[in-house]
Structure 1
Amino acid sequence: MRKSDEKDNAIPRLWKGGFLTLGNIRDVILVALLVVVTWKLINSEIKISLESFSFTDLLSVLLAFFAIALSAAFYFKATETSNRFYDNSYKFTKEMSEILGRIESGFGEKLKHIDEGYTGLREKFDKIPFDVKQAKEEEKKEEKHIKEQEKERDKIILDLMEKAKVADHEKEEVIKRLQKSSLELDRSKIELRRLQRRINSAESNIEDVSGSFINYLSEKIEGRFSSKYIDAPTRVLNRLFKQMKEERLLDDQDLLFMEHHGLIIDGELTTKGAHVYRRAIEKSI
């Protein structure tokens, strides 16, 4: 058994080391083939005759070599252009990445400070108490001011129509007055819209109204209203609220509480109060 194993292992060792390796055998075979081919070429009779080689054949050969050279030139030029394009693309991408990195490092911290400052400023404004009643008074003043400005504008237009035949410098003066009045009117309208937005925002926030008061109000109106009043407009809810007051379902303390929390002004429901009233109707159903 041991002799048979040594016999089987002898052949692999022969191929692994010594002269009879696969690489050496391959080289020997190639050299032999090369020698045979060379010997055949030397002993063969090769004749090159140019008797039948005309100018047309020469021109064809030259054109063939020229086409080969031109193709090679195009290939190498295209390869060079492609490599240059990819090199430029890589350089451009690298430079842009570096520039963006410098911009981020240079302005990132400043933008962060600006954002923190804006957040702090917004928090300060949010903490400022907002008086809805006073805002409504300012809203009325702005509406009155807007009406006055509109009257002034109409007056200026009438003056312009009456003085259409006057001198040019007077016309220019009237036009300037008209432009100034229009600008003041636009500013007043912007201020009025701003106040209205703040009023609507403040009145729609019922977080300061406790849930117990909404439950208390729902018990007062239980069984009186159907679900269609949940989405009723404020004027309809004011009519229902007036009936409640006439029937003495709410005492003076209730009305004082509602006025203190901005639910009613001058005995009528505000936008905030209407929102609370709808919640109470929804709970009472």
Structure 2
Amino acid sequence: MQTMIGVIGGSGVYDIAGLEGASWVKVKTPWGAPSDEVLVGRLGGLPIAFLPRHGRGHVHSPSSVPYRANIDALKRLGVTDVVAVSACGSFRESYAPGDFVLVDQYIDRTFAREKSFFGPGCVAHVSLAHPTCPRLSAHCAAAGRAAGVTVHDGGTYLAMEGPQFSTLAESRLYRSWGCDVIGMTGMPEAKLAREAELCYASVAMVTDYDSWHPDHGAVDITQIVATLGANAANARALITALPALLGASRAPCPHGCDRALDHALITAPAARDASLLAKLDAVAGRVL
């Protein structure tokens, strides 16, 4: 199988320069329109698809991002490995603004979003014990370090609904839970990528200390925007280094991300809803 990298760009990352044969393409999905057109091209000899999570111009709030359409669009284009880049706040002194965190766990506190491709008429339960791909995350960590970024391997991401930032009490609570970073877009994106059998890595770029830090006060959007610029440049450098690490030939994922649906479908074939099955053609076509 051919490796194809999908990049979901978060706040501050709205395009990728230097793609060969780059063009913006419109992708239709049964889940509605994605956040934007998808920038497709080649990078380091590998095909790549870039999708700005909030749309160019940042038109989508965290709650209005069409997560299902975004993941479907990337899968439909042939993406095998998704690198999700996002801004986040830090709950740890040692995870400083400008650092990158390779997320490996989530606590999902979002409540206003569709979180599954499946439902009545075709029920499925995928394992989410390890919601990101260790293989892909390791490559992202190596690429980040090669770009000169301070990278932390592993971290628990608290996904909040937003768009407001945390209260001080919430920030203290999430720290007491052992969370490392906080953001507004990590969920349900990771859940949907697993349902679509895509390897998924989350590169969380620290912009601030949320509101818990006694020396930094409340989250200041001007401070965040200033940090976003440097983070965006480092994110692009990380992405540029990935093709050489991943390689063109795509072996099966050693962690089973690309086989997540092998035993997940519960609804008997005769009882499955035909209209829902039609919508699942890209994300679940392998098992349907």
| Same-fold status (TM-score > 0.5) | no
Does 1 or 2 have the higher relative contact order (CA < 8 Å, sep 6+)? 2
Q: Which has the larger radius of gyration?
A: 1
Normalised by the length of structure 1, the TM-score is 0.18
Which is helix-richer, 1 or 2?
1
Structure with higher strand content: 2
